[in-house]
Each structure stands twice: as C-alpha cells, then as structure tokens.
Chains A and B, each alone.
Chain A
C-alpha cells in the first residue's frame, strides 16, 4: 500500500517539477542580470496597456515606453513636439497639427492622421479617460499627415492634456483587430515594443530599432511587479533588479549607504492636503479652519513620516505646474495664534472631531501626528481609517469631518490641479470633497480654463491661489518628492515629474 502511495507522491512531484521547468521563463542566472536587459521593479502590476482602459500609474509607467503622444512634456513640464512636429492655432478653438512622416508602429503600419482621429475619438467614448479629452469637440483629418482638433470652448491647457499618457496615439488597425484583448496586445510607435506579459509577474518589452528618434541603447526592458517596498530594495541589493521605483522612506538609507547603488530624488506633481468638510459645523467657520491650519507643523510630518522626502506646500499646485504662484504663503505654524482664533470662533476649549483617511500607511501616520498637533490647541480628533472604496463613497456624500487626501496635477497645468478640487460644480465625488463653493473662485477658474493667453491665465490662477490660502477649504501639507534606486552602472535615467519615467535614453555602462 505504501509503495503505491510513494509512487503516487513521487510522480506528482515529478509532474509538478516538469511543469515548473516547462512553464518557467527563460531567465538564466536570475541573480546576475544579462547586461542587454534592464530590469525595472515597481510596486504593482500594470492593469492594462490600453491607455483608454485605465489611468493608473503602474500601467502608465509601462505604456509610456510603448507609445508616443502628439506632444510631450519634457522633464521641466514644458511642451515639446512629439509625433506632431509642429502645430498652429488659426483661431481660439482650433489647433492644426502636422505629423511627422515615416513614423512606423510596431506592427509596421505607418502613422497617419486617421490613427490620430481614431485615437482621440476613442478617448472621448472611454468612461475612464473621457475627462482628459473633455474639452475637445471634434477631430478632423485634413490630409494624411495633418489633423485639426477643435475644442468646444477655448481651452488653454489643450496641449498639456494631449501630452498625458491617456492621449497616447494608437494604431487603428491594431486596435480593431485585437478587439477586447487590445489591452494585452498593445501596439505603439514608442521606443519599446511589447513582447509578452506574465500576468502579475512581469511585462517584457524589446527595443524598437526603427524608432523615429533613433533606436534605444538597451535591447530589452522588463518591468517586474514587486509589491513590497522592502523587497524592491532587496532586489537592488542582490542585483536582480537594475532600477526600483518608489523606495520606502525606511529603505533609503540602505541604498545611500550601499556603494553599488544610487538613490535619485526629484520633485513630483503630487500634493498632499488636509481637507475640511465645509458643509459641516464647525468647519463652516473660516476662523476654525484658520486655527487648525496654524496648529499644523509640516516639518514634523516631512521629517518623521516622509524621512525628508517632501517640501512644504504653499499652494495646491506645485512649482512645476503651470500657474503656480510662488508668492502665496501657507499658514505659519503658530500655536498661540491658533488658540486665539479658536477662542474668537467660539471654541475656547476646543471641540471633538474626526479625520478620515484610507488605509495607506503614510496617511495614517500623518493623521497620528496631526492628532497630536491639534491636541495642543484643544481639539480632540479621532482617526477613522476607512477602506478605499468606502472612503471614496463616504467623502463623495460628505459623511466626513476632516479628511486627508492627495492630488496629482498630471497634466502640469493649473486647470487640472485646481478645477476639480475647488469648483462648486465638482462638489462631492468629482473631486471637491471640501464642498467648497466661492462664486468668485468659480468665475476665475472658468475664465482661466477657456483662456488661451498664458499671461492672463497666470494672473487669474495667481489670484485663485491667494483666495484659497485665505479661505482655506483645505490646508495644503506638502509636495511629494519621488525617488528611484538603481545600480551604479545605470546611466541616463531621469525621474519625470509626472511619474512615468522614460527608459529611452538609459544605458548600462560596461
């Protein structure tokens, strides 16, 4: 009897091992990466490589290598030509793009204006990314290499929006042929072409030798999904990974102290803030909001929670965003002033309240520090940790008192950075979770949105930021510093403020 069981067991093992061998990916010597392959580790798997299907960062980081856009945002968030070599604006509503000729998609098809029209039309009908192309009214093919884009109203930030990864240009033929499976079979014009996707594990890309800017130096790029930050750092230490995104604050020291590794840190377009629900007492009272704002000491947060990876925010949009007003000041840390304001508002002994956060560990820690800081002025704040889905639902309804959240001005333009958060029409789930409504701010936001005059827009946005720091619907906290760790022999890698760093231009020094 036991002989039978033993045989059964052994054959099971044998089958499993054979399956493992057969199914294993061809990575010989996984500890020492082959030098024509760059391995990048990020914290989550891409969801889809169809830019119209998803707007999440892990997906954008991979698709940024596969596709190009009409225009691109460079490392300083300036708009530069992409697939469009030039453009003109015959009137306020129209932009005419002239495409580069001879650009090939990875399937051999040449880029034509029809592909651009197809892409933008498809964007409009995508529920996920529709809001990015909302301003566009129609897209018309003038000839094979000329496209006319008309907006419903003048829209100053049009080019910024067209530089967004969601506006990546797709090949009509490839998308139509793949149908619903396009997200797993992307075809672009970019420096790297899609090879295969081991779901949950890694995405493999290969260099596009006919890339219009010149073939990339590194032949193969693999994006690996390593969920735990510490494991990403370990991957760097063992040499299994060449570049690791989003190093945890706690692991930064390990990389800095390691003579084989380099840590790079740059500002991002991300801003974190403490919001007040202005529909609820006592946050209807501006003095209360001011008092709380003066009781917050940002330095403590940046030091203790972020380990220095942040800069105090003076405005809801950061210095790299067009429209940023450098002269606006955030409330200073002044406990006495805070107590006085609170007394004036009718709360000399403070009051009880709560703050909502999702289960993001950094945000929870920030809440703990805020709790202690507010205690100093007599405010007893409980921390409600809410699961993300419930958090979005609840804050959309206005169930909360205070809340902590972040916002990324991905387009690098103040319209994206401010409108959703502060316009009265977007109260609730559309982004304005403070339920702030100021007719003057509404007017300014609407005018600035439809202006195509940069100077005028700068002025308008400047005034908006002043009003916001006066009325304090939110207390801005910090601008996030983003980082990446890499092996010393990786050269030419730069962090892009929007977070989808380009691998094109990176080389491995032998």
Chain B
C-alpha cells in the first residue's frame, strides 16, 4: 500500500509540470500585455517597453518557463506583477480560506446527500423519494450566485442573524458553505440513490434478507458499503470542483479565497499568481484524488488487494 501511495505522489511531479506549462503557454499567447496593464491607459511606448524588459518578458518563451520552474522548486513563485507581493505567501494565506469553504461545503453535501439518497432508494417511488428528487433537481439547477444572494437577503438582511460577507469567524462560514454545498448535495443524493437502487437488487441482498437479517443491517452494513464506491468518486470530484470553482460564491460573499484571486490575476495577466494558484489547486486536487483512491481500498477489499 505504501509503495502505491509513494508512486502516486511521485506522479504529481509530471502532472504539475504539465499543468503549469499549459497555463504558462496560454497566459503567454493570449492578448494583453502585463506591462501595459500595470501602467494603464496612458503609458508611453518607451515606458511599456522598459517595464517589459525589466520584468523579463522579452526573453524567449522557454527561457521564461525554465526560469519559473527553476525558482518554483525552491518554493519561490516570484512576485505578483500587480501587487509586488510574494506570490507563494499570498496564496498560502488565502488557500486555507478556500479549503475551509470546500471542506465544510462537502461535509454539508455529504451529510444531506447520502442519507437522503439512501432513504430515497429504500423507499423508491414514495412521496419522500419524489420530493427529494425534485429538490435535487432544484439544487443542481440553481445558480450559485442567485442562491447566495437569496440566502443573504433572508438571513442577513431579513433576519439579521448571519453576516453578509467577509470572513470574521465561524458565523461567516455558514451561508457560503450552504450555498456551495447545495449543488453538491443534489448530485450526491442522485448518485447515492441510483447506486443503492442497483445494489439492492443484487442477489446477495436477497440472500441476506432470506437469512433473517434485519432491514437496517442489510441496508447499512451490506448494501451501503457496496453502493458507496461510485459515490466516493463523486464526492471526490465535487470536492475538487469546489476547490477550484468557488469563484462565484467567493465573489458574492467577498470571501478571501484563492478562486477570486485567480480570476483577478487572469484579468490582469498576472502570470506568477495564476501559475502558482493553478499549481496549488492541481496539487490539492491530485491529493484529493489520491485520498479517494485510498478510500476505495478500505471500502472494497478487491481493490485493496490490487494495491499491494
């Protein structure tokens, strides 16, 4: 098992190199000159040219990339073109905020999604089932920013019990996490339900019942474990998505996370920040994938034996 984990961690290196190269290429070849963007609307041509040279933007594309990688492996991602701050420090400070939001969001999604999915499956076609499927559809279709604004209007403006934005302690996490978690919950519910439905029809479940096992044990001990594998996949993917895609929620709640930082950096062609943010997120996502794969091993003994 340990060799497997080690191998996966080593695989991170080519993944990150590939991702960073792709992003670097895109940033280099899209229109927009970082020097011009820094200097603004009335920048004399010589000033822009001088700044470009100073920033090292005139060098050959591969030279620039090699320079970036060379410094990155020592942990130096350079300084932001716009703020002059050390990029690594800036992202490291904001990454926990995105992480917290994603984790709490996923937890909410799982705490809602799996139980509702199980109940829907075991009471298929009942009123509860139909209701939860409709709610799931709503959850998936509702735009994040709309839900966010609705929650703010209800709980911050209307009831005045929760803050409308920023990150000032525990209370601030609740609304953004619910906003993020709702969409994920909907997907997890549907996945759990369909997976459970498939498993419940299996012969061994019929055997277990025939042998006299209580329904609860049949569902929770036997059916669920087997149904969980695709659900774990979905949860992992959702977590990865929340890590990178929480931009809209971060904007609506003025949440100081990496998503918003990255969008701003892209607009301003702040390549060091974009590269570092993407590398961070790619690494986080790869680690999540690895954790998901490890969890498979615990859930499914057949897979565990493959890893040995």
Contact = CB atoms under 8 A, between A and B. Distances in A.
User: Do these two chains really belong together in a complex?
Assistant: yes
A224 B35 CA distance: 28
Contact of A388 (B79, B164, B172, B267): B267
B251 interface: yes
A321 to B, nearest CB: 16
A183 B256 contact: no
B45 interface: yes
Given A54-B83, A200-B257, A202-B166, A389 B37 contact: yes
Interface residues of A, number: 64
Given A21-B170, A54-B82, 11 more contacts: A5-B295, A12-B107, A20-B173, A127-B35, A198-B167, A200-B261, A226-B165, A238-B163, A240-B156, A387-B32, A388-B37
B170 to A, nearest CB: 6
Contacts of A13: 103-104, 107
Interface of B: 30-33, 35-45, 47-48, 50-51, 54, 79, 82-86, 90, 93-94, 96, 100, 103-104, 107, 149, 152-153, 156-157, 160, 163-173, 225, 251-254, 256-257, 260-261, 267-269, 295, 298-299
Contact of A426 (B44, B51, B299): B44
A20 B97 CA distance: 8
A127 B51 contact: yes
Interface stretch (A100-108, A213-221, A227-235): A227-235
B109 to A, nearest CB: 13
Contacts of B225: 1
A246 to B, nearest CB: 14
Nearest to B270: A47
Contacts of A228: 251-252, 254
A231 B85 contact: no
A27 B168 contact: yes
A389 B33 contact: yes
B84 A48 contact: yes
Contacts of A224: 166, 254
A396 interface: yes
B256 A238 contact: no
Contacts of A75: none
Contact of A430 (B43, B90, B157): B43
A210 interface: no
B168 A16 contact: no
Contacts of B153: 234
Contact of A394 (B30, B31, B253): B31
Interface in A177-208: 180-181, 183-184, 198-202
A405 interface: yes
A202 B166 CA distance: 9
Contacts of B44: 131, 426, 429-430
A25 B45 contact: no
B36 A392 contact: yes
A388 B32 contact: yes
Nearest to A130: B47
A390 interface: yes
A227 B248 CA distance: 11
Interface of A: 1, 4-5, 9, 12-13, 16-17, 19-21, 23-25, 27, 30-31, 47-48, 50, 53-55, 127-128, 130-131, 180-181, 183-184, 198-202, 224-228, 230-231, 234-235, 237-238, 240, 387-390, 392-394, 396, 405, 407, 420, 426, 428-431
11 contacts: A20-B173, A25-B168, A31-B163, A180-B79, A183-B85, A228-B254, A237-B157, A388-B32, A389-B32, A389-B269, A426-B42
A461 B166 CA distance: 47
A13 B45 CA distance: 54
Contact of A24 (B38, B167, B256, B299): B167
Contacts of A405: 41
A33 B252 CA distance: 21
A127 B39 contact: yes
B43 A227 contact: no
A218 to B, nearest CB: 19
A53 B30 CA distance: 25
Given A31-B163, A226-B254, A16 B169 contact: no
B256 A199 contact: yes
Given A30-B169, A55-B40, A226-B254, A200 B164 contact: no
A199 B82 CA distance: 13
A81 B97 CA distance: 45
B239 to A, nearest CB: 12
Nearest to B155: A238
A19 B83 CA distance: 27
A505 B82 CA distance: 31
Nearest to B263: A227
Contact of B100 (A20, A240, A387, A428): A20
B42 A47 contact: no
Nearest to B36: A392
A30 B261 contact: no
A484 B95 CA distance: 32
Given A238-B160, A390-B31, A24 B42 contact: no
Contact of A128 (B31, B38, B45, B104): B38
A180 B85 CA distance: 8
Contacts of B36: 389, 392-393, 396, 429
A131 B267 CA distance: 24
Nearest to B47: A127
A429 B45 contact: yes
Contact of A16 (B33, B48, B79, B100): B100
B33 A199 contact: no
Contacts of A131: 42-44, 47
Contacts of A396: 36
A155 B191 CA distance: 72
B100 A227 contact: no
Given A1-B299, A199-B94, A227-B254, A392 B164 contact: no
A54 B31 CA distance: 22
Contacts of A201: 166-167, 254, 256
Contacts of A183: 83-85
A274 to B, nearest CB: 16
Given A24-B167, A30-B172, A387-B32, A234 B298 contact: no
Nearest to B32: A389
Contacts of B257: 200
A55 B39 CA distance: 8
Contacts of B164: 231, 234-235, 238, 240
B76 to A, nearest CB: 12
Contacts of B85: 48, 181, 183-184, 199
